[in-house]
Amino acid sequence: MTANSKFRPGSALSPISRRAFVAGAAAAGACLWLNAPMALAASGPPEEAQRVADHFSSVKTMMGEFVQFGPRGEQTGGKFYIERPGKLRFNYENPSPMRVISDGRNVVIGNMKLKTWDIYPLSKTPLSLLLSDRIDLNHQMVRGVKQEADLTTIVLGDRTIFGDSTITLMFDPKSFELRQWTITDAQAKDTTVMIFNVQTGVNFDARVFEVPYADVHKRGG
């Protein structure tokens, strides 16, 4: 399947050994030290880190598979779809009934079994930073940047909008590819998403990011 193929939710991806990946991901997730924001140098963020952020911002569409680790150690997986700016979809694997969709205005979280939906303005969630057109590391939303030989870590947050919530992005410093992100909520609880089998330059069907507003409002979400 080519990078420019038309995708709809549920399209098949090339398989890898999920068991091997999850075992490694769980070990990495157990070592996360991302709760404490890192101080920026007085001269501003490293130039290399801005190049990483610029490359990520230049990727307008991407899709792949994910493993998610919740704050209580729960683990789920599935497929994700991103279209910049502002659009995202998470299809969780069975037995999870969850769906997460952002259409650029709102984020909805649906339980397909219970037929219930919650809705939030995208601008009030840290996902808006992940999905923005450009990540400017000189902006006040940057809480910290750390560069290591095998990892570039960028912590973002906007206290005036998200309160104490932050999103931490972790990139490969050589390929500039996003490896994972962690959202830390106001109670300092982490939800980490690790991604793999990523494809970029995908042309999505418009329905991928379509929010079912009739169902959302009907159910009082």
- The predicted model scores a pTM of 0.78
Q: Which helix (H) or strand (E) holds 103?
A: strand 98-103
Distance CA 16, CA 10 (A): 17
Q: What is the dihedral of CA 162, 47, 49, 37, to 10 degrees?
A: -50
Q: Which two tokens stand for residue 119?
A: 């809705």
Coil, helix or strand at residue 61: strand
Residues 6+ apart with CB under 8 A from 115: 215, 219
| Per-residue pLDDT, 219 | 58
Kindly calculate the radius of gyration of the chain based on its CA atoms and give it in whole angstroms: 17
Question: What residues pair up with 168 in beta bridges, in sequence order?
Answer: 155, 182
Q: What is the pLDDT of residues 13-56, one digit of tens each?
A: 333 334 333 333 333 333 333 333 344 443 455 687 888 999 99
**Best CA proximity match to 125, nearest among 65, 69, 185:** 185
**Best CA proximity match to 6, nearest among 214, 204, 208, 213:** 204
DSSP β-ladder status, 166-171 and 203-204: unpaired
Q: What is the pLDDT of residues 67-118, one digit of tens each?
A: 999 999 899 999 999 999 999 999 999 999 999 999 999 999 999 999 999 9
